[in-house]
Amino acid sequence: MNPSPSPAAQRATPHDADLVVFGGTGDLSMRKLLPALYHCDRDGRLAPQTRIIALSRGGLTDDDLRGKVDAEVRSAVPEGDDPEVWRRFLARLRHVPVDVRDDGDLHEGWRDLAALLGGNEDRDRIFYLASPPMTFGPFCRQAQQAGLVTPRSRVVLEKPLGRDLASARQINDEVGAIFAESQIYRIDHYLGKETVQNLLVLRFANAFLEPIWNSLWIDHVQISVTETVGTPGRRGYYDQAGALRDMVQNHLLQLLCLVAMEPPARNDRESIRDEKLKVLQSLRPISGSEADRFTVRGQYAEGPGMPGYLDEPDRSPPTDASYRVETFTAIRAEVKNWRWAGVPFYLRTGKRLPSRRSEIVVQFKDVPHSIFPGGSPNRLVLRLQPSEGIDLHIMAKEPGAGEVTLRPVPLGLSFARTFGTRVPDAYERLLMDVMGGNPTLFMRRDEVEAAWRWIDPILATWDSAGTPPEPYPAGSAGPPSAHELLGRSGRAWHEEEPA
């Protein structure tokens, strides 16, 4: 008798699927989705008959699309590029010209898509909406009108999910009218990062940390996502977004949730999301004069060799919105519950800063009584980029006779070095989760709306203030107020350790 495969192996067996990427010729597809899918294919995680069907308004043939992907994507997957796999991967690609219009008759492309998909309801069908959010509702309605939404269909929604609570609700209502919540995958690619998943393992698969993961032992937490790039050519988008909507509402709040959440009862789709939701609901609201004290908004001005936001090359000149939009924000947040009472969570994100880094820093309290001079408190640093890993900074004695001299040294875990494998891109993990029907690392409707509920009053206060954001020179460490936000309680932002 053949031994039956283990549950893990069964889960790993890929099903044949059709992945329909709406916006399949766009930047996100070319830079992220297709390289991720190639790596999945190379690792044997795409079933033999799985197809990737790109939709756009461009009149491309299948071969045109393959030529474009060959020219634009192959260079992005140099490690381990296998010509045989590459040929197999290209053969999976199809292109169907479809115009998703707001109203009116269905574009003829939907008929072609229906013919390509066939009537096979047993096959997994995934609609990945890599397109602007105002197209989500119309896309779902038209897919249904075209008879393409089957019980085995899922839909993936890219960020941004609206620009405030009202618009997020509208998108959720429109998509929810066609797909059940269990079929909707709202992606936040930060949740697919190795370090982020390792944060859960670190907290809940090790006994030593959880007893000290609270306000008795932790002084504060910092979550920073800093970028060196500006927004050349993207002002049209960025004027309407800004750092708070673009980064904090989704990525930074999701990271905060994973740091602050209670241990879930199980590692399953609802338990983790239930706990994250409780954190979002426990965030102390910030509005009015508190927004002045606890939030900072900045906009980069000219810096060494770099233009200011308003002078970035673009198709159109700056508008009123350009003068008001923040390219930097810092916030002092609080999670009002038993575990975290009094522990500030400092959030920071911005463009044209000195380094490109995403990290969570958990700063422990100092020893209650020091017998050595010159110590500093322990610090746990979870690095999401550029090189994913975890460092626990402890105090050690410098070698040598004579006086004891203390030095903070990192006990480090680099995933790439320790495990000797390529660290997969977050999109690989998340795409495979969608294919496997596992929504644990995707945001549920109530989470997204709870995040907007916290963000909206901050936005409203900023809007009503009528003052421009604080300028900071491009390439500098952000506006002075961001440093005062911590400085007034004797704290400072964690900056990159010198190499």
Ligand X SMILES: NC(=O)c1ccc[n+]([C@@H]2O[C@H](COP(=O)([O-])OP(=O)(O)OC[C@H]3O[C@@H](n4cnc5c(N)ncnc54)[C@H](OP(=O)(O)O)[C@@H]3O)[C@@H](O)[C@H]2O)c1
Q: Binding to ligand X by residue 99, rule CB under 6 A? A: yes
Nearer CB in complex with ligand X: 160/308:
160
Task: Choose among 249, 262, 125, 124: nearest CA to 188.
Answer: 249
Nearer CB in complex with ligand X: 131/195:
131
- The answer on whether 279 is annotated among ligand-binding residues is no
Q: Which residues, numbered 134-153, are part of the site for ligand X (CB under 6 A)?
A: 135
Task: Choose among 155, 88, 104: nearest CA to 125.
Answer: 155
Task: Choose among 423, 396, 428, 426: nearest CA to 411.
Answer: 396
Stretch that binds ligand X, among 92-100, 276-284, 312-320, 477-485 (CB under 6 A): 92-100
Q: Looking at 5, 44, 80, 132, which residue binds ligand X (CB under 6 A)? A: 132
Q: Please give the order of strands across the beta sheet that includes 51-56.
A: 93-97, 51-56, 17-22, 124-129, 153-157, 184-186
Shortest Å distance, C-beta 129 to ligand X: 8
- The answer on whether 159 is annotated among ligand-binding residues is yes
- The answer on whether 84 is annotated among ligand-binding residues is no
Stretch that binds ligand X, among 22-30, 203-211, 261-269, 311-319 (CB under 6 A): 22-30
Q: Binding to ligand X by residue 437, rule CB under 6 A? A: no
φ, ψ of residue 208 to 5 degrees: the values are -75, -25
Task: Choose among 112, 107, 113, 103: nearest CA to 21.
Answer: 113
Q: Binding to ligand X by residue 233, rule CB under 6 A? A: no
Task: Choose among 230, 237, 497: nearest CA to 383.
Answer: 497
Q: Which residues are catalytic?
A: 251
φ, ψ of residue 331 to 5 degrees: the values are -140, 140
* Exposure b/e, 295-307, CB count within 10 A at least 16 = b: bbbbbbbebeebb
Q: Binding to ligand X by residue 130, rule CB under 6 A? A: yes
Q: Looking at 5, 11, 12, 27, which residue binds ligand X (CB under 6 A)? A: 27
What type of residue sits at position 86? Answer: W
Gap between the Cα atoms of 37 and 427, Å rounded: 8
What type of residue sits at position 441? Answer: L
Q: Binding to ligand X by residue 26, rule CB under 6 A? A: yes
Gap between the Cα atoms of 232 and 455, Å rounded: 26
- The answer on whether 425 is annotated among ligand-binding residues is no
Task: Choose among 52, 48, 32, 47: nearest CA to 93.
Answer: 52
Nearer CB in complex with ligand X: 219/227:
227
- The answer on whether 193 is annotated among ligand-binding residues is yes
Q: Binding to ligand X by residue 398, rule CB under 6 A? A: no
φ, ψ of residue 360 to 5 degrees: the values are -115, 130
Q: Binding to ligand X by residue 158, rule CB under 6 A? A: yes
**x/- site string to ligand X, residues 58 to 77, per CB under 6 A?**
x-------------------
Q: Binding to ligand X by residue 248, rule CB under 6 A? A: no
Q: Binding to ligand X by residue 215, rule CB under 6 A? A: no
Q: Binding to ligand X by residue 108, rule CB under 6 A? A: no
Q: How many residues bind ligand X (CB under 6 A)?
A: 21
> Is beta strand 389-397 parallel, antiparallel or unpaired with respect to 344-350?
unpaired
3-state secondary structure 57-73: CCCCCHHHHHHHHHHHC
Stretch that binds ligand X, among 52-60, 249-257, 293-301, 390-398 (CB under 6 A): 52-60
Report whether 250 contacts 280 (CB < 8 A).
no
Q: Which residues, numbered 267-286, are part of the site for ligand X (CB under 6 A)?
A: none
Shortest Å distance, C-beta 277 to ligand X: 23
Shortest Å distance, C-beta 405 to ligand X: 47
Q: Binding to ligand X by residue 56, rule CB under 6 A? A: yes
Q: Binding to ligand X by residue 23, rule CB under 6 A? A: yes
Q: Binding to ligand X by residue 162, rule CB under 6 A? A: no
Report whether 20 contacts 58 (CB < 8 A).
no
Q: Which residues pair with residue 361 across a beta bridge?
A: 222, 381
Shortest Å distance, C-beta 134 to ligand X: 9
Residues of the shown chain interacting with ligand X in the complex, contacts defined by CB under 6 A:
23-28, 31, 55-58, 98-100, 130-132, 135, 158-160
Q: Which residues are annotated as a binding site for substrate?
A: 189, 193, 227, 246, 351
Q: Which residues are annotated as a binding site?
A: 57, 99-100, 159, 189, 193, 227, 246, 351
Q: Which residues are annotated as a binding site for NADP(+)?
A: 57, 99-100, 159
